[in-house]
Amino acid sequence: MPGWMRDDHKALAELAYEFFAKECEPNEKRWGRQQHVDRDIWHKAGELGLLCASIPEQYGGGGGDFGHEAAIMDAQVRALAPSFGGAVHSAIIAHYINAYGTHEQKLKWLPKMASGELVSAIAMTEPGTGSDLQGIKTTAVKEGDEYVINGSKTFITNGFLSDIVVVAAKTDPAQGAAGVSLIVVEQGIKRGRNLEKVGQHGQDTCELFFDNVRVPTSNLLGEEGQGFRYLMEQLPQERLIIAVPAVASIEKAVELTIGYAKERHAFGKPILAFQNTRFELAECSTLATVARTFLDGCIAKHMAGELDVVGAAKAKWWLTEQQNIVADRCMQLFGGYGYMVEYPIARIWTDSRIQKIYGGTNEIMKEIIGRTL
């Protein structure tokens, strides 16, 4: 067990595993076909305390810390249930509201997010800009006590099922980063296509359109023009919550492949008897140990409030890179069966690929690190 894991983290991890294994994994195929989870699963997760675990109890959350979010995310990967978008909702979006919202805003949205009554999304990326966030074109123009929002967003996780969306928009279009604000939009959003992806088929990823959407100015999070700063402040946690499934996925891939290599025979012996198989798995198993040690150190640092943007960028790029390397090497050892979607290693392989792209691409992570050298 990782050093940062206390008994309460362990208990939550067990509860979460049972939920993902019983309520989610058996539905994965169907959710993949319909391209989203059933709405009801959000209520079930909320009832069990698996949403907003690290939000204060005063606002309906579990009153826990990042370790609780990590324990849930880790359990989700182990149970092979990738579709549920609870991590972005709980570990990322709820924290924007908790950190920058007023007491009234927190009371309005957080308890319902914790119960699953509200599903949330965060909309930064636009068709024309992803990495270069200060170049967003969506505008929020003040008219009396309302903002009028115009623009379009794409690749939005939970976008199809979402009830509220934290939108990054320019309240001062003449400015770059200094013009960005975060506004919570509750209605009036037009949904475009629920996008068909290479992997993570059951997790909805949607286009959103804003056509003169009127939002009360009281839905602004924090101060006007501070949105970019808020996004930067929350990035270490956002990137770390991506690194958590990376390591769980490496460990799961190695575990599944060792099992398979013992059972599968070729040339009259188990494929584990071939030196190449043992060497491949020896290397992957070593990578799993190194990855786990690195991640646990980062989690402990973050829980102590000491993980900075550079440290989180290192964790995000390196661990997601290793995730893809291990997924590919393990899949190879499954032979043709590894390419069949009924084998979990195939899903691990396809689901891993996006990890190097979202949450800031791995190239952007290296830019962040490189700038400080």
Ligand X SMILES: Cc1cc2nc3c(=O)[nH]c(=O)nc-3n(C[C@H](O)[C@H](O)[C@H](O)COP(=O)(O)OP(=O)(O)OC[C@H]3O[C@@H](n4cnc5c(N)ncnc54)[C@H](O)[C@@H]3O)c2cc1C
- Active site (catalytic) residues: 238
Which residue lies nearer to ligand X by CB, 24 or 182? 182
Which residue lies nearer to ligand X by CB, 130 or 311? 130
Q: How far is CA 328 from the centre of its chain?
A: 21
Contact residues for ligand X, defined by CB under 6 A: 88, 121-125, 130-131, 155-157, 197, 205, 354, 357-358, 360-361, 363-364, 367
C-alpha distances in Å from residue 51, one per residue of 32, 110, 248, 365: 22, 10, 20, 28
Which residue lies nearer to ligand X by CB, 157 or 181? 157
Which residue lies nearer to ligand X by CB, 217 or 361? 361
Token pair in block for residue 93 = 């979006």
- 107 HSE (CA, 13 A, CB side): 3
User: Which residue has its beta carbon closest to ligand X?
Assistant: 130
Gap between the terminal Cα atoms of the chain? 34
Where are the alpha helices (H) located in 304-343, listed in sequence order?
Answer: 309-333
Instruction: Compute the least distance from the CB of residue 252 to ligand X, in Å.
Output: 20
Instruction: Compute the least distance from the CB of residue 354 to ligand X, in Å.
Output: 5
Beta-ladder partners of 190: 209
Instruction: Compute the least distance from the CB of residue 128 to ligand X, in Å.
Output: 8
Give per-residue burial for 60-83: e unless 16+ CB within 10 Å, then b.
bbbebbbbbbbbbbbbbbbbbbbb
CB neighbour list of residue 49: distance below 8 Å, 6 or more residues apart: 12, 15, 62
C-alpha distances in Å from residue 156, one per residue of 150, 153, 167: 16, 7, 10
Instruction: Compute the least distance from the CB of residue 138 to ligand X, in Å.
Output: 11
Cα–Cα distance for residue pair 255/78, rounded to 1 Å: 10
Instruction: Compute the least distance from the CB of residue 188 to ligand X, in Å.
Output: 19
Which residue lies nearer to ligand X by CB, 120 or 277? 120
